[in-house]
Amino acid sequence: MKAFKKLLPVLAALILPAAASAQAAPSDYTFALHGFVSMSGAFQSGSFFPGEGQQSLSAGAEPTTDKGSLAFDVRQSRFNFSVKGPKVLAGATPTGVFEIDFFGGNSAGNFGNVSIYPRLRVAFTQLDWGSTKILIGQQNDLTFAMAPTSLSHIAFPEGYFTGNIGWRRPGFFGYHTLKVADDTSLELAWELGRSQFAETTLVNGVYNGEASGAPAIQARATLSGKIYSAWVAGHYSSMDNNGMGVADVDPKTISTTAVAFGGKVAVSGLTLAAAGFTGTNTDPLLGNFIEFKARTAANKDISAFGYWVQAGYNLTKEFSLWALYGDQAVGKTKAEALGQSKLENATMNLQAMYRDGGFGGSLEYSGFTTTRALYTGGAFTGTTKDKASQVMLTGTYFF
């Protein structure tokens, strides 16, 4: 026993440093949690589509009386979890990313709007070789390259229903960056993903976009310098108009084609940004006001175009003022023949923003004027303009 007691200090001296060294050894994996927590309070006049608060993109059918409401909204709060692992495949750094917000809808019951469901935004694996990145999973479309600046409308930016198109889809993505000059780079990107169209109904268990048997294809080129960036992107996809297993009726196939473009310049505290698009059958890209109308042979294609422009100026490093105007319209003749409700939407946004580190606060005014078609017995009889507005105070912490 005495010999064992004498041996204990020696064993401790040998074991403890080894244990401490093992605990201090760096992990092969890097974990990160990012995102933001956001709350908006808004006095509203009118009704909104697709929803009120942080989800508003256009005016809904305008009430004739008692138009005011007071809303509070936290749904755009976002959480992004990622894991980066040791290098694989000739030096590529693998990363897994999973991101959610809370636009998944309200739970059941009278208090469902404070027990809201999460919504999957993106989930992908990325292999990064530096100048080349390959992404596998669900990610934002390449046609949506830039959103207007806002703290109140991040998850549902007011670029939608004006000059932005593109949503999210699972697929394969590639990004390749070329050095053009010391302060100038050119990124070439491609996307090969699921063809989507009206993902609320199934025909024989298959969505009509998938029934086409063809993928959605996108490509984008982005030129970036010290004070500017400019980009142009294209999209092509098709869908089986009749669905899988259904006898073909003209038109059998509907194609979605679009070109999107935009740019930004920032110099001496002034920021100017703009984006636009033109296309045909842009419903699955959140164009055509997301109205998935069944096409006919006589009215196969509905055209659409849109744009937004925004200017901002930093009065101080933290405080800035912003103004935006945008508009989107569809080809009215064919849209009316197919019974489409919304024909045009104009959006105006004015905001005062304060940013200090991770905290941001803003006071925003948004006004929507939406032109809606009127029908009697299925026949087009004219149009009406619905109006809605918000004055929204938002506090957000980014981490």
How high is the pLDDT of residue 11?
46
How high is the pLDDT of residue 2?
57
What would the DSSP string read from start to end of 140-164? E-TT-------SSSSSS-TTTTTT-
| Overall fold of domain 51-74+130-398 | Porin (2.40.160)
Residues 6+ apart with CB under 8 A from 199: 207, 209
How high is the pLDDT of residue 326?
98
Whether 4 has a pLDDT exceeding 50, the answer reads: no
Residues 6+ apart with CB under 8 A from 250: 297
DSSP structure class, residue 182 = T
Number of neighbours of residue 18 by Cβ within 10 angstroms: 9
Confidence of residue 24 (pLDDT cuts 50, 70, 90): low
Span between the terminal Cα atoms of the chain, in Å = 57
Mean pLDDT of 206-219: 95
Q: Return the domain boundaries, the chain.
A: 51-74+130-398
Q: For the chain, what percentages of helix, strand and coil (3-state, to nearest 5) are there? A: 10, 55, 35
Mean pLDDT of 106-124: 95
User: Which string of b and e fits 148-176 if b means at least 16 CB within 10 Å?
Assistant: bbbbbbbbbbbbbbbbbbbebbebebebe
CA-to-CA dists, residue 320 to 186, 351, 352, 385, angstroms: 30, 8, 6, 32
pTM of the model: 0.90
Mean pLDDT of 210-227: 96
Cα(231)–Cα(234) distance, rounded to whole angstroms?
10
How high is the pLDDT of residue 17?
54
Whether 185 has a pLDDT exceeding 50, the answer reads: yes
Percent of the chain with pLDDT over 90: 87
pLDDT (tens digit per residue) in 295-330: 899 999 999 999 999 999 999 999 999 999 999 999
